Structure 1
Amino acid sequence: MPRFNPLVETLAAPPIPSVFAWGKAYDGRSGPMIDLSQAVPGYPPHPEMLRLLGEYAASRAYTGYGPIEGEDVLRAAYAGHLSQTYGVPLDAGNVHVTSGCNQAFICAAMAIAGTGDAVLMTDPYYFNQETTLAMLGIKTRFAACDPANGFLPDVETLAAAITPDVRALALVSPNNPTGAVYPTELLSAIYDLCVARGIWLILDETYRDFLPEGTGRPHDLFGRAGWQDTLIGLYSFSKSFCIPGHRLGAITAGSGVVEQVAKIMDNLQICPPRSAQAAVATALPLLADWREENRREIARRVEALRATMAHTPAWRIGAVGAYFAFIGHPFGDAPSARVAEKLAKEAGILCLPGSYFGAGQEGYLRFAFANADVETISRLKDRLGGFTLD
Structure 2
Amino acid sequence: MKISERLMRAKPSATLAVNAKAQELRAQGKEIVSLAVGEPDFQTPQHVCDAMKKAVDEGFTRYTPVPGIPELRKAVAGYYGNFYGVNAGMDNTIVSNGGKHSLYNLFMALIDPGDEVLIPAPYWVSYPAMVELAEGKPVIVPTSPESGFLAEVKDLEAACTDKTKLLILNTPSNPTGGHYPQAHLDEIANWAKSKGIFIISDEVYDRLVYTPADYSTLSNFWEKNPEDVAIVGALSKSFCMTGWRIGTTLAHPDLVKAMVKIQGQSTSNVNSMAQKAALAAFEGPWTLIDEMKVAFQRRRDLAYEIISSWPGVICPKPDGAFYLFPVLDTFFDEETPDSASMCTKILEEAGVALVPGSAFGDDRCIRFSYALDDEILKKSLEKIGNVLMKK
Take 2:350 and 2:253, find their aligned partners in 1: how far apart are those partners?
Answer: 51
1:220 is displaced (CA, Å) by 5.7
Matched residue, 1:14: 13
Take 1:6 and 1:161, find their aligned partners in 2: how far apart are those partners?
Answer: 26
1:32 is displaced (CA, Å) by 4.9
The TM-score, its normalising length taken from structure 2, stands at 0.92
Question: The residue matched to 2:331 in structure 1 has which SS?
Answer: coil
- Identify if the C-alpha distance between structure 1 residues 376 and 263 changes in structure 2 by more than 3 Å, giving closer, same or farther: same
1:228 is displaced (CA, Å) by 0.4
> Number of aligned pairs?
385
Take 1:175 and 1:239, find their aligned partners in 2: how far apart are those partners?
Answer: 12
Take 1:227 and 1:73, find their aligned partners in 2: how far apart are those partners?
Answer: 25
CA contact (8 A) 1:85 1:217 kept: no
Question: The residue matched to 2:139 in structure 1 has which SS?
Answer: strand
| Structure 1 residue 157 corresponds to structure 2 residue 158 | no
| Structure 1 residue 298 corresponds to structure 2 residue 292 | no
Question: The residue matched to 1:239 in structure 2 has which SS?
Answer: coil
1:97 is displaced (CA, Å) by 0.6
Question: The residue matched to 2:172 in structure 1 has which SS?
Answer: coil
CA contact (8 A) 1:26 1:346 kept: no
Matched residue, 1:55: 54
Tell me the alpha carbon deviations over residues 140-173 of structure 1, each in whole angstroms, 9 at most, x when there is no partner: 1121111221111011110121111111101111
1:241 is displaced (CA, Å) by 1.6
Question: The residue matched to 1:13 in structure 2 has which SS?
Answer: coil
The TM-score, its normalising length taken from structure 1, stands at 0.92
- Identify if the C-alpha distance between structure 1 residues 222 and 284 changes in structure 2 by more than 3 Å, giving closer, same or farther: same
Question: The residue matched to 2:342 in structure 1 has which SS?
Answer: helix
Matched residue, 1:43: 42
| Gap runs ≥5 in structure 2 | none
CA contact (8 A) 2:93 2:249 kept: yes
Matched residue, 1:73: 71
Task: Tell which deviates more after alignment, 300-309 or 195-204.
Answer: 300-309
CA contact (8 A) 2:181 2:214 kept: no
| Structure 1 residue 191 corresponds to structure 2 residue 189 | yes
- Identify if the C-alpha distance between structure 1 residues 65 and 28 changes in structure 2 by more than 3 Å, giving closer, same or farther: closer
- Identify if the C-alpha distance between structure 1 residues 101 and 224 changes in structure 2 by more than 3 Å, giving closer, same or farther: closer
2:42 alignment partner AA: Y
Matched residue, 1:385: 385
Take 2:22 and 2:193, find their aligned partners in 1: how far apart are those partners?
Answer: 46
Take 2:53 and 2:287, find their aligned partners in 1: how far apart are those partners?
Answer: 22
Take 1:27 and 1:132, find their aligned partners in 2: how far apart are those partners?
Answer: 31
Map 1:107-122 onto structure 2 (within 5 A): 107-122=105-120
Take 2:27 and 2:364, find their aligned partners in 1: how far apart are those partners?
Answer: 26
Matched residue, 1:367: 368
Q: What root-mean-square deviation, in Å, do the aligned CA atoms of Structure 1 and Structure 2 show?
A: 2.2
Question: The residue matched to 1:9 in structure 2 has which SS?
Answer: helix
Map 1:68-147 onto structure 2 (within 5 A): 68-147=66-145
1:17 alignment partner AA: L
Task: Tell which deviates more after alignment, 49-58 or 86-95.
Answer: 49-58
Question: The residue matched to 1:232 in structure 2 has which SS?
Answer: strand
CA contact (8 A) 1:145 1:151 kept: yes
Question: The residue matched to 2:201 in structure 1 has which SS?
Answer: strand
Question: The residue matched to 1:208 in structure 2 has which SS?
Answer: coil
Take 1:381 and 1:261, find their aligned partners in 2: how far apart are those partners?
Answer: 43
Question: The residue matched to 1:178 in structure 2 has which SS?
Answer: coil
1:4 is displaced (CA, Å) by 0.9
- Equivalent of 1:335, from 335, 338, 354? 338
Tell me the alpha carbon deviations over residues 8-43 of structure 1, each in whole angstroms, 9 at most, x when there is no partner: 0232323223212332354799x9533111211112
Question: The residue matched to 2:165 in structure 1 has which SS?
Answer: strand
Take 1:221 and 1:77, find their aligned partners in 2: how far apart are those partners?
Answer: 15
CA contact (8 A) 2:145 2:315 kept: no
CA contact (8 A) 2:86 2:219 kept: no
Task: Tell which deviates more after alignment, 265-274 or 286-295.
Answer: 286-295
Take 1:256 and 1:144, find their aligned partners in 2: how far apart are those partners?
Answer: 33
| Structure 1 residue 353 corresponds to structure 2 residue 356 | yes
Question: The residue matched to 1:379 in structure 2 has which SS?
Answer: helix
Question: The residue matched to 2:10 in structure 1 has which SS?
Answer: coil
Take 1:343 and 1:53, find their aligned partners in 2: how far apart are those partners?
Answer: 40
Matched residue, 2:253: 255
Take 1:144 and 1:367, find their aligned partners in 2: how far apart are those partners?
Answer: 20
CA contact (8 A) 2:111 2:134 kept: no
Question: The residue matched to 1:186 in structure 2 has which SS?
Answer: helix
Matched residue, 1:344: 347
Take 2:123 and 2:218, find their aligned partners in 1: how far apart are those partners?
Answer: 24
| Gap runs ≥5 in structure 1 | none
Tell me the alpha carbon deviations over residues 193-231 of structure 1, each in whole angstroms, 9 at most, x when there is no partner: 111001111000111110113544413652566320111
Fraction of identical pairs, as percent:
25
- Identify if the C-alpha distance between structure 1 residues 163 and 207 changes in structure 2 by more than 3 Å, giving closer, same or farther: same
- Identify if the C-alpha distance between structure 1 residues 7 and 231 changes in structure 2 by more than 3 Å, giving closer, same or farther: same
